[in-house]
Amino acid sequence: MNPLEVFPHLWISVLVVLLSLQAGCVANSADSLMADARRFSAVTRVDPNFRPDAGANLIWFSDLIVQDENSAVKATADQIALITQTIESQFIRKRYQFTNDIEQADYMVAAAVIMDDSPESQQITELVQIFPGLAGAVNDLDQGTLLVVISPPTDPRTAPLLWRGAIQVFLVSEALSPEMRNSRLQSFTARLIAAVPEAGTRD
């Protein structure tokens, strides 16, 4: 005789327990994902003589550089545009402005998204020389890093760096909704640029 026929309530109890465990695993997985999505490490360096005037003109060295050839997670065109727009809007909030005329530029801005360990990525990170301040890997997650530098209006590969910053996050974006991915990109980008000295400040 099947004991579950004699004790039907036992089958119901087992089913409830299994469903509870499954729900708990899903909830724990979602909680873990969100915890990883919020985790970051950031570091900045500034030349003490970098004291830009209010309205200082910035010019881009190039379009946002993206190194993701060897990464399982790729940066989309929309994400690249969003990072660029967020960088510009945050600089404008700090009383900088952008120009396309090198003759009018006071400073040059360069930015790169590093998502792999290719030789090109290593060259960029060695140039900026900021990675020792960043945290190591957590939970074996792949890392993505946004680098931003400010230099005199010449080639930042050879010019002295007046300000440099990096924010390192974990590449879990494929598991997030498009809205959460965009919000995450904007938040981390804005957090990095928030460390740039405000133009016109003489403290």
Query: Could you list the residue range(s) of the whole structural domain that residue 98 is in?
Result: 40-193
Mean pLDDT of the 90-101 span: 97
Could you give the percent of the chain with pLDDT greater than 70?
Answer: 69
Distance (Å, whole) CA 114 – CA 85: 18
pLDDT at 99: 97
Asked whether residue 84 is assigned to any structural domain, the reply reads: yes
140 and 61: one domain? yes
- Which residues on neighbouring strands pair with residue 43, listed in sequence order? 166
68 and 45: one domain? yes
Asked whether residue 201 is assigned to any structural domain, the reply reads: no
Asked whether residue 198 is assigned to any structural domain, the reply reads: no
For 126-149, the pLDDT digits (tens) are 777 654 444 444 333 356 888 999
pLDDT at 120: 85
Asked whether residue 51 is assigned to any structural domain, the reply reads: yes
pLDDT at 174: 59
Mean pLDDT of the 172-182 span: 71
124 and 45: one domain? yes
Asked whether residue 202 is assigned to any structural domain, the reply reads: no
139 and 81: one domain? yes
46 and 28: one domain? no
117 and 17: one domain? no
For 41-59, the pLDDT digits (tens) are 888 899 999 999 999 999 9
For 110-126, the pLDDT digits (tens) are 999 988 888 888 787 77
pLDDT at 6: 45
Are 72 and 142 contacting, i.e. CB atoms less than 8 angstroms apart? yes
Could you give the percent of the chain with pLDDT greater than 90?
Answer: 39
pLDDT at 96: 98
Q: Give the number of C-alpha atoms closer than 13 A to the C-alpha of residue 149, restricted to the C-beta side.
A: 25
Asked whether residue 200 is assigned to any structural domain, the reply reads: no
Asked whether residue 182 is assigned to any structural domain, the reply reads: yes
Distance (Å, whole) CA 197 – CA 44: 11
Give the helix/strand (H/E) hosting 168: strand 163-170
65 and 156: one domain? yes
52 and 106: one domain? yes
- How many domains is the chain partitioned into structurally? 2
53 and 113: one domain? yes
68 and 108: one domain? yes
CATH of residue 153's domain is 3.30.160
169 and 75: one domain? yes
Asked whether residue 1 is assigned to any structural domain, the reply reads: yes
**76, pLDDT greater than 80:** yes
69 and 33: one domain? no
For 22-43, the pLDDT digits (tens) are 544 444 444 444 444 456 688 8
